[in-house]
Amino acid sequence: MLVITGWYCKFIVVICTVQIGLMMAAQSSAQPTHQITFIGSGRERYGVYIMDMSRRVIAPYVRESVIGRQTDSTWSPDFNTLVFRAVQNITIDLYAIDLGSDQYRQITGTGKNNHSPTFSPDGQWLAFTSERDGNPEIYVISASCILPDARCRDDAARRLTDHPKADDQAAWSPDSQQLAFQSNRDGDFEIYTMNRDGSNQSRLTHSPRNDLLPNWSPDGQQIAFASERDINAELYVMQTDGSDPRRLTQTRAYEFTPQWSPDGRYILFQRAVPGSDFETYVIHADGSGEQRLTTVRMFLQNPVWRS
């Protein structure tokens, strides 16, 4: 007959408490399940790769030489279609490819440097930059034409900006009603916003040096961007009216392309690294907990969140 004494019960309770505490700590420190899409280039790696934040390559996605000459891309909100910029026969246009497919289809046909595509969060629109009218301007086209059985017509794209200087790098607000973008219409590059139809264009930043590459937070409260106001480019966040700018990085390197994670907890970005072109990092939204994701050996670039 087993006799359970009071001290033994207390011991069991302590052990169970410690085990539960360890389990909770492990769960809280576990790597998030976010996935990031990279573009591979070079002799050994080319195409699109999907990686998680523990630096594990989940799958080589698209293995086409056209992708190796790609510079920017965007996933559809359902994460099934990738739109990317590529060079074909000396022309620069946008293409689309579906997850699990090796067949890509052309979206733009002007060859006039079409780039920087971005899907609206509601999946209805694709904004992009084009130089078809002589200088970089922002256009939008219905995303319905990107479906496999449809065809995009260049004359269906609607021009949102119209200025002799450059308007570029559009980023959608979470409600798909506004876009942030960069423009040098007032001298150096600054961050602006406008409505989805191009109306109400408003300047947000007023720094003496370039402010670039805006990206809207998922909750619609902040915009992340890169700024050269401190000589080298650093990452900042500000309120969506341009107030309360706050610096996230403090290095001598060049940081750019900030992108909020879908849950708003992290910001993905690139940094110029000696011995390589650029490497990819992720930080918490408050600027803490920096983690490097890529290495020179991997040579994966142009990252975008996939999930």
pLDDT digit string, tens, across residues 48-99: 778 888 777 766 666 555 554 556 889 899 888 989 888 777 788 999 988 7
What span, in angstroms and rounded, lies between the C-alpha atoms of 90 and 147? 25
Least confident interval from 123-132, 266-275, 283-292: 266-275
pLDDT surpasses 70 at 245:
yes
Confidence bin at 253 (pLDDT 50/70/90):
confident
Question: What is the overall mean pLDDT for the chain?
Answer: 82
Q: What is the mean pLDDT of residues 115-123?
A: 95
The b/e string for 171-196 (b: 16+ C-beta within 10 A; e otherwise) is bbbbebebbbbbbbbeeebbbbbbeb
Confidence bin at 12 (pLDDT 50/70/90):
very low
What span, in angstroms and rounded, lies between the C-alpha atoms of 270 and 72? 13
Residue 122, pLDDT score: 96
**DSSP code of 170?**
E
- 9 token code pair: 């019960």
Q: Is 70 helix (H, G, I), strand (E, B) or coil?
A: coil
